[in-house]
Chain A
Amino acid sequence: SAVISQKPSRDICQRGTSLTIQCQVDSQVTMMFWYRQQPGQSLTLIATANQGSEATYESGFVIDKFPISRPNLTFSTLTVSNMSPEDSSIYLCSVGGRADSYGYTFGSGTRLTVV
C-alpha cells in the first residue's frame, strides 16, 4: 500500500490566521481525500482532491474556507483559512483507488488547535 507523509503533525494557531497542511504520497494515485475529525467525533470527508481540476467538496465544506491544491499525482495541500476555535480538529489525508492497492492508508494526521 502507499506510504503517506503528512505535515505538520501538530500546530497551535491564532484565530484569524491560516494553516496549510501537506500530504505527500510515495506513488502516483488517482484521488486523494481530506478528512476532518473534530474532538470526540468520527471522521468526516471534507473534499476529494482531483489532479488537474478543482476539488470536489462535501456538503457543509466550501472552497473559501478549505482551499485544496493538487499539482500532481503524488501531492496535495489543504489550507484551513481564517481559523476559529471550532476548526480545532485532527485533519487527515488518504488516498483512493482499489482497496487492495492504495485503498486503506491514511497519513499520520495533523492535530490543529486554534486559540
Chain B
Amino acid sequence: AQKITQTQPGMFVQEKEAVTLDCTYDTSDPSYGLFWYKQPSSGEMIFLIYQGSYDQQNATEGRYSLNFQKARKSANLVISASQLGDSAMYFCAMREGPESGGFKTIFGAGTRLFVKA
C-alpha cells in the first residue's frame, strides 16, 4: 500500500537561510508522481513542485527544489533563501499511476515551517 511519511512536525529556519523538509514514500507502482504543497493559514493548498518517478533530473521551481533519491524512496523539499512568507504548513504527497487505477493522491502528516527574522 502507498504511504507518505513526514517525520518533522515543526521546523525553524533563519530568514535567508536554506531549509530541507524531509519526505519518504512507499509504493509498489513503478509509475508515480510526488508533490509538495504549501498551506498558509488561509487554508488553500498551493502547489509548489512536482517530480515524476521517471524523471532523471531533480525538479526545480524558483527557490524550491526537490531532492529525489529513488532508491531510498525519498523526496525532500529544499527551500533556498527562506523568507518570512514561507512560514506555513508543507505537505508531501504522492499519486500513483494508471496501473493502480485511481490517480488519487495521498498526503503526509505535514511539517510546519517557522521562518525567524
Complex: chain A residue closest to B91, CB-CB: A42
Q: Is the CB of B103 within 8 A of A42?
A: no
Beyond A92-B45, A106-B44, A106-B45, whether A100 also contacts B50 by CB under 8 A is: yes
Q: Which residues of B are found within 8 Å of A73, using beta-carbon distances?
A: none
- Residue in contact with B102 in the complex, picked from A1, A48, A104, A106, CB distance below 8 Å: A48
Q: Is the CB of A45 within 8 A of B50?
A: no
Q: Is B72 an interface residue (CB 8 A)?
A: no
Complex: chain A residue closest to B48, CB-CB: A104
Q: Is B106 an interface residue (CB 8 A)?
A: yes
Q: Is the CB of B44 within 8 A of A31?
A: no
Q: Which residues of A are found within 8 Å of B103, using beta-carbon distances?
A: 30-31, 96-97, 103
Beyond A43-B107, A45-B106, whether A104 also contacts B35 by CB under 8 A is: yes
Q: Is the interface of B mostly helix, strand, loop or mixed?
A: strand
Total chain B interface residues with beta-carbon distance under 8 A: 20
Q: Is the CB of B50 within 8 A of A104?
A: yes
Q: Is A69 an interface residue (CB 8 A)?
A: no
Chain B 71-109, CB within 8 Å of chain A: the 1/0 string? 000000000000000000001000100000011111111
- Residue in contact with A94 in the complex, picked from B43, B52, B105, CB distance below 8 Å: B105
Q: How far is the CA of A99 from the CA of B105 in the complex (A)?
A: 10
CB distance from A94 to the nearest CB of B (A): 7
Q: Is B47 an interface residue (CB 8 A)?
A: yes
Q: Is the CB of A104 within 8 A of B106?
A: no
Q: How far is the CA of A95 from the CA of B45 in the complex (A)?
A: 13
Q: Which residues of B are found within 8 Å of A100, using beta-carbon distances?
A: 50, 52
Q: Is A74 an interface residue (CB 8 A)?
A: no
Chain A interface (Cβ < 8 Å from any Cβ of B): 1, 30-31, 33, 37, 42-43, 45, 48, 90, 92, 94, 96-97, 99-100, 103-106, 108-109, 111
> Shortest 8 CB-CB distances between A and B: which pairs?
A96-B103, A99-B33, A106-B45, A43-B107, A104-B47, A42-B107, A109-B43, A90-B43
Q: Name 22 interchain pairs, CB-CB below 8 A, sorted by A.
A: A30-B103, A31-B102, A31-B104, A33-B105, A37-B43, A42-B107, A42-B110, A43-B45, A45-B105, A90-B43, A92-B45, A96-B102, A96-B103, A99-B33, A99-B52, A103-B35, A103-B103, A104-B50, A106-B47, A108-B44, A109-B43, A111-B43
